[in-house]
Amino acid sequence: MNATYATLHQRLAASLETVPDKPLENADTALRALWFAAAGAPCSLAAAAIGELPPLADAAAQRRLEALVGRRLAGEPVAYLTGRSRFMGLDLLSGPGALIPRIETELLAQGCIDLLAARDAHQAARVIDVCTGSGNLAFAIARQVPGAEVFGADISADALALAARNRDWLKADNVSLCEGDLLTPFGAEFDATVDLVACAPPYITSAKVPHMATEIAAHEPRLAFDGGPLGVTILLRLLEEAPRLLKHGGWLAFEAGLGQGPAMQRRLARDRHYDTVRALTDAHGDIRAILAHRA
């Protein structure tokens, strides 16, 4: 085991290209995650980093590991190779039908959870998560907010299929899934009944998407990244469409790309539908999520 590990670790250390928005990955964590997968015990990068490596039962398992390392070095993301990713402490099923959950989205998730926790505990919260992807934000809220009624929606049937698998995996019976364009799945029966509309939208400008790292541009779905010519097409629609669903005292919460936060904050501050706007910043002081309170 040690010789195999050392050889493959050397290959990864010499050639592995990682991306800043997946900060947990390095040669060691990638190899450990791929090792677990080859041994038939797939887990997320985070789980693999602390678990004891299982034995590779036979030569076939070793060949699987070598093939996985080769595919990773060719640009396939670890989460797709292992079928696992972690978000807010949940190990989720992962696959090429949906965006791999990013650590920066945890800032939005925690903000949503904190807002809902501050409500009257005797009232069940109704939550809508659009652009739900694999359902990571919806499932994190459903897990940490007792009694929440959560609806996840996405325009992608492939993403929703993965979200449905995650719902079964997590036994998240309080999450419903809907297919449709942004908020269109939610008809008049939802008007002024929703406590929280949350969204981690695509916000990369269309021109930049093809030039992103290979593991993103060539493998993760473009639909999950492409935010239009200026990167804010979905964000602007969200700001226009959310007020009809939110009850008075409800919240709109969304993630923003680097540099987009200040403009979105100013726009919401001028919007008569909201009376309070909060910005959530990352460790570098950049606005990465915005919370707006329905007047």
Summarised one tens digit per residue, pLDDT across range 156-181 is: 999 999 999 999 999 999 999 999 99
How far is residue 168's CA from residue 160's CA, in Å, rounded to a whole number? Answer: 12
What per-residue confidence (pLDDT) applies to 51? 77
Q: Which part of the chain is CATH 3.40.50.150? A: 105-294
Strand ordering across the sheet containing 246-255: 175-179, 149-154, 126-130, 194-199, 246-255, 287-294, 274-281
CB 130 within 8 A of CB 153: yes
Residues 6+ apart with CB under 8 A from 292: 251, 252, 253, 268, 271, 274, 276, 277, 278
How far is residue 53's CA from residue 41's CA, in Å, rounded to a whole number? Answer: 10
CB 159 within 8 A of CB 95: no
Q: What is the CA radius of gyration of the chain?
A: 20
Q: What CATH code is assigned to 105-294? A: 3.40.50.150
- Evaluate if pTM is beyond 0.75: yes
Give, rounded to a whole angstrom, the gap between the first and last alpha carbons of the chain.
61
What per-residue confidence (pLDDT) applies to 89? 96
How confident is the prediction for the chain on average, in pLDDT?
95
How far is residue 141's CA from residue 128's CA, in Å, rounded to a whole number? Answer: 10
Phi, psi at 170, each rounded to 5°: -90, -5
What per-residue confidence (pLDDT) applies to 121? 67
What per-residue confidence (pLDDT) applies to 120? 72
